[in-house]
Amino acid sequence: MCGIVGYVGTRGSVDVLLGGLKRLEYRGYDSAGVAVIDADGHLGTRKHAGKLGILTDDLAAAPLADGHTGIGHTRWATHGGPTDENAHPHLGDDGKLALIHNGIIENFAELKGELLASGHTFHSETDTEVAALLVGDAFRATGDLTAAMLQVVNRLEGAFTLLAVHADQPGVVVGARRNSPLVIGLGEGENFLGSDVAAFVEYTHRAMEIGQDQLVTIRPDSVEVVDFGGAPVAPPTFEVDWDASAAEKGGWSSFMAKEISEEPEAVAKTILGRVTDGLVDLPEVTALGPEVLRSIDRVLIIACGTAAYAGMVGKYAIEQWARIPVDVELAHEFRYREPVLSPNTLVVSISQSGETMDTLMAVKYARERGARTLSICNTQGATIPRESDAVVYTHAGPEVAVASTKAFVAQITATYLLGLQLGQVRGALTDDEARGLVAELQAVPEKLATVLGVGDRIKELAHWMADTRSVLFLGRHVGYPVALEGALKLKELAYIHAEGFAAGELKHGPIALIEPGQVVFVLVPSPRDPRSLHSKVVSNIQEIRARGARVIAIAEEGDVAVLPHADEVIRIPLASPFFEPLLAVVPLHYFGMELASAKGLDVDQPRNLAKSVTVE
């Protein structure tokens, strides 16, 4: 939600701002705007409801006087609908100050009352305008944008990233953040601010984190960060490990198609550099100390959506390999039940964006109550890793499509690396057992590349099923979370009812849903699995076929027992039970994408959704 860009330097700021907003489009928005201080020290703004192209076309037809200082914003409406008036920037100090905002100012009503009482008028329904007027007033009193912003942020409650510029201070952009994303791009004679590094990665790979309750002032040749008390801080810097082309569609029909094709590489890059002498070597985890790792008596995985399903797969593996009880909880439920936590509880958050507010709030809650926190995250410098004791980054590269695909397989991979590392440190796995599992994990990328070949067949199925109104997904053990993931993809991409079930649950109710023609995807475990789950799932298939279901089975090469019972069999390479989810999910990712395409829907930016849900 909401994209934010700030720039000071020697380039024309309008192009830098529009280019940055373009790269942040995937975050989801419904209006866009920019503010620029031109060469004569005048502040010009332009903003429109709708897609970025409307703003870009308007600026092409009627350019703003350009300059080298500016801020840009894409808004996902919270307070007030997506209208021109509610679009950001908002103005203060008689139009000499422009401000943009991501998040929610929870005490805006009280502050708005004060401003109205002091004679201010409002032009929008937003909470943001309150901040713009307050900073404008504070600038008039202090004559300095940093001091003005510092004064105001200490009066705000809620979650916010704010950027502001003032016509009387060209060459300066001031930003502040609390529980909302902001990162600094460090250039030569220029500096950037962005919601994430995609905003400026085409200009610089050098970046700096901004911590909680910190304020940054960027000038072309300086970056100064202070806390909300005004004390200087020196946040860590980092190198962005991907380049701008990685965030381009590169000739693919959609970012989602591109990102599905990158699933093998996402797994390979997440493993890379984390195996030594055939054993997992995760210094991010071992740095917690062997005593701490041995004292863990419970793992609690918290996440939302697809990330939660990755955690559910990881639960099976961590319990099996490290012999520690693992629970998975939806982050937005977690802190409202007052969970029992202790220093021996390891709370593992999983988040592609590292900005999901529900997950961030759950991590802060757990940490405040003494639990150890570890983040699995795909975005360097994001907020959740900064609020955690340790972080294991996935290296899937930027995931632009709202529907998560390559991040999902990378997240599962990271939970496997964690489970193996804990199993090794705690002696729950012998070195030989661990080496065998590591070798199987290292073989996954090549097998995943094979599975990409099912895309054409899935496309045919999807076009044949374009009018389908309901699809069910069945799975057992590690296949159950994959069934949930397949259903979520269909809901968020094709806007149809879809539901994932544990196959064993069928006879406890859901089988009543089966009527002639009901499409059901079934994730079939390997027949080589000694736990006889295969025969149980084949029995489930027979039960639903007997009631007219159309069954699409996802089964391993060579599984002939499933053939008489399925209308369609999608093959995946042989793999041990724990590694099947990484392969079996690919046909389901393709299916969600192809059904959406068959229905003429926007695959990359589905309706009502944002890539990163940065409000609760």
Of the chain, the end-to-end C-alpha distance in Å amounts to 11
Secondary structure (3-state) at 40: coil
Helix (H) or strand (E) holding 205: none
Which of residues 98, 133, 271, 402 is near ligand AGP by CB under 6 A? 402
Q: In whole angstroms, what is the distance from residue 47 CA to residue 83 CA?
A: 9
Omega of the bond leading into 587 within 30 degrees of 0 (cis):
no
Pick 108 or 408: Cβ nearer ligand AGP? 408
Helix orientation angle between 263-271 and 580-598, rounded to the nearest 10 degrees: 150
Residue identified by tokens 């405040």 is 368
Binding residue count for ligand AGP, defined by CB under 6 A: 15
Q: Are 14 and 59 in contact (CB under 8 A)?
A: yes
Pick 128 or 612: Cβ nearer ligand AGP? 612
Q: Would you call 2 a catalytic residue per the annotation?
A: yes
State the pairing for strand pair 275-276/279-280.
Answer: antiparallel
Pick 307 or 615: Cβ nearer ligand AGP? 307
State both tokens at 91.
């103005």
| Best CA proximity match to 55, nearest among 36, 39, 38, 74 | 74
Does 373 sit near ligand AGP (CB under 6 A)? no
Does 305 sit near ligand AGP (CB under 6 A)? yes
Task: Give the footprint of ligand AGP on residues 348-367 (CB under 6 A).
Answer: 351-353, 356, 359
Query: Per CB under 6 A, which region of 133-141, 153-161, 305-313, 497-505 contacts ligand AGP?
Result: 305-313
Pick 544 or 588: Cβ nearer ligand AGP? 588
- Find the Cα–Cα–Cα–Cα dihedral 137, 138, 140, 142, rounded to 10°: 170
Query: Per CB under 6 A, which region of 50-58, 155-163, 190-198, 397-405 contacts ligand AGP?
Result: 397-405
Pick 36 or 493: Cβ nearer ligand AGP? 493
Does 614 sit near ligand AGP (CB under 6 A)? no
State the pairing for strand pair 90-92/158-166.
Answer: unpaired
Least Å from the CB of residue 394 to ligand AGP: 10
Least Å from the CB of residue 102 to ligand AGP: 15
Least Å from the CB of residue 492 to ligand AGP: 6
Which of residues 472, 612, 614, 615 is near ligand AGP by CB under 6 A? 612
State the pairing for strand pair 69-75/31-37.
Answer: antiparallel
Least Å from the CB of residue 535 to ligand AGP: 33
Pick 186 or 330: Cβ nearer ligand AGP? 330
Does 306 sit near ligand AGP (CB under 6 A)? yes
Query: Per CB under 6 A, which region of 86-94, 171-179, 292-300, 402-410 contacts ligand AGP?
Result: 402-410
Secondary structure (3-state) at 512: helix
Least Å from the CB of residue 251 to ligand AGP: 23
State both tokens at 469.
């109104």
Does 69 sit near ligand AGP (CB under 6 A)? no
| Best CA proximity match to 90, nearest among 48, 145, 35, 170 | 35
Q: In whole angstroms, what is the distance from residue 475 CA to residue 584 CA?
A: 10
Does 410 sit near ligand AGP (CB under 6 A)? no
Does 307 sit near ligand AGP (CB under 6 A)? yes
DSSP helix, strand, coil percent of the chain (3-state; round to 5): 40, 25, 35
Query: Per CB under 6 A, which region of 37-45, 53-61, 322-330, 400-408 contacts ligand AGP?
Result: 400-408
Does 124 sit near ligand AGP (CB under 6 A)? no
Does 312 sit near ligand AGP (CB under 6 A)? no
| Best CA proximity match to 91, nearest among 50, 15, 13, 37 | 37
Instruction: Give 430's contacts (C-beta < 8 A, 6+ positions apart).
Output: none
Pick 217 or 352: Cβ nearer ligand AGP? 352
Least Å from the CB of residue 351 to ligand AGP: 3
Q: In whole angstroms, what is the distance from residue 100 CA to residue 24 CA?
A: 15
Residue number closest to ligand AGP, CB atom: 305
Secondary structure (3-state) at 250: coil
Residue 347 burial (CB < 10 Å; 0-12/13-18/19+)? buried
The runs of H, that is alpha helices, within 470-574 are 479-494, 533-545
Pick 215 or 331: Cβ nearer ligand AGP? 331
Phi-psi region of 397 (alpha: psi -120 to 50; beta: other; left: phi over 0): left
Does 492 sit near ligand AGP (CB under 6 A)? yes
Which of residues 302, 366, 437, 613 is near ligand AGP by CB under 6 A? 613
Does 383 sit near ligand AGP (CB under 6 A)? no
Q: In whole angstroms, what is the distance from residue 404 CA to residue 536 CA?
A: 30
Least Å from the CB of residue 526 to ligand AGP: 27
The one catalytic residue among 96, 258, 489, 611: 611
The radius of gyration of the chain from alpha carbons, rounded to an integer in Å, stands at 25
Q: Are 208 and 194 in contact (CB under 8 A)?
A: no
The one catalytic residue among 2, 96, 364, 406: 2
Least Å from the CB of residue 512 to ligand AGP: 28
Which of residues 403, 448, 454, 585 is near ligand AGP by CB under 6 A? 403
Least Å from the CB of residue 326 to ligand AGP: 19
Q: Would you call 304 a catalytic residue per the annotation?
A: no
Does 394 sit near ligand AGP (CB under 6 A)? no
Q: Which segments of 420-487 are extended strands (E)?
A: 470-475
Does 180 sit near ligand AGP (CB under 6 A)? no
Q: Given the rule CB under 6 A, which residues bind ligand AGP?
A: 304-307, 351-353, 356, 359, 402-404, 492, 612-613
Indicate which residues carry an active-site annotation. Answer: 2, 611
